[in-house]
């Protein structure tokens, strides 16, 4: 099920599909609802979705859920006030990973079956799953990536490859906007830096904002009240989306 927020009552609106984070094991479609007051004045609609969580569900279940959302929006979005030709994806952390993976794979593999994805917006997402697995196990002492994939790289080599957005850069990919904190100790900034290089080598437009001294976050301040939440680099990110969704 989806939550759809509309800024008015005209026919259809360009929209942002928000994909929540939570290490692939927490969160739901309400996780990003506090961003709506900041998005509404832009004249964009906001669509929020959930996906199956790990464990017990493993890749590619989460990807398939997002792809099915994109297909449903293509078929039914106009009925709910959404311009199916103007969609951007937005997410952070695990949500940023799914934004990039679903956005890159959908525009490469099934572009005619989903809404028109005009931009990808990603905060501190995971781009290379094998590298994140090593970081989780050796530095963080966490099983986050292991639980998402359902095995180690030695046991599930193909899944680590198909779950990594870094492997799906292609010439028809939409423009990308990314932000990452230089002091992120959950998803190292090297994940984004590596993706920026891959996008550049592929000739894909990419805006990359480094948040000096910041950790793992997509908010302007570390501690925000729910009714007054701003995105990190909100002005720059919304300027990018206005240009791509115009």
Which helix (H) or strand (E) segment holds residue 5: the answer is strand 2-5
Percent above pLDDT 90 for the chain? 94
**pLDDT surpassing 80 at residue 227:** no
Angle at 41 between CA 39 and CA 44, to 5 degrees: 55
pTM of the shown model: 0.97
Structure confidence at residue 126 as a pLDDT band (50, 70, 90): very high
Is residue 5 one of the residues assigned to a domain?
Answer: no
Which pLDDT tens digit goes with each residue over 165-204? Answer: 999 999 999 999 999 999 999 999 999 999 999 999 999 9
- CA distances 124 to 17, 56, 175, 182, Å, are 17, 24, 17, 10
**pLDDT surpassing 70 at residue 235:** yes
Is residue 75 one of the residues assigned to a domain?
Answer: yes
**pLDDT surpassing 70 at residue 83:** yes
- Cross-sheet strand order for the sheet of 176-181: 2-5, 45-49, 13-19, 82-92, 117-123, 176-181, 206-211
Structure confidence at residue 221 as a pLDDT band (50, 70, 90): confident
Q: How many domains does the chain have?
A: 1
Q: How does the average pLDDT of the chain come out, rounded?
A: 96
Domain limits at 223?
Answer: 13-245
CATH number at residue 186: 3.40.50.1820
Is residue 160 one of the residues assigned to a domain?
Answer: yes
Best CA proximity match to 149, nearest among 34, 243, 44, 60: 60
């Amino acid at each position: 099920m989806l939550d759809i927020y509309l800024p008015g009552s005209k026919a259809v609106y360009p929209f942002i599909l928000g994909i929540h984070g939570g290490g692939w094991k927490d969160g739901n479609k309400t996780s990003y609802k506090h961003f709506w007051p900041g998005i509404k004045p832009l004249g964009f609609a906001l669509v929020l979705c959930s996906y199956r969580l790990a464990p017990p569900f493993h890749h590619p279940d989460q990807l398939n859920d997002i792809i099915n959302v994109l297909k449903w929006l293509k078929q039914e979005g106009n009925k709910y006030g959404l311009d199916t030709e103007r969609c951007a994806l937005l997410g952070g952390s695990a949500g940023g990973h799914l934004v990039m993976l679903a956005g890159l794979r959908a525009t490469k593999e099934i572009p005619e079956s989903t809404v028109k994805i005009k931009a990808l917006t990603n905060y501190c997402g995971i781009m290379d799953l094998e590298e994140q697995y090593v970081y989780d196990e050796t530095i963080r002492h966490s099983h986050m990536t292991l639980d998402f994939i359902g095995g180690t790289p030695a046991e599930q080599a193909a899944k680590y490859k198909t779950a990594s957005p870094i492997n799906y850069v292609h010439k028809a990919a939409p423009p990308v906007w990314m932000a990452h904190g230089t002091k992120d100790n959950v998803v190292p900034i090297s994940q984004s830096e590596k993706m920026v290089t891959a996008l550049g080598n592929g000739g894909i437009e990419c805006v990359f904002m480094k948040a000096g001294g910041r950790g793992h976050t997509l908010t302007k301040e570390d501690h925000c009240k729910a009714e007054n939440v701003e995105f990190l680099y909100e002005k720059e990110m919304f300027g990018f989306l206005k240009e791509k969704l115009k």
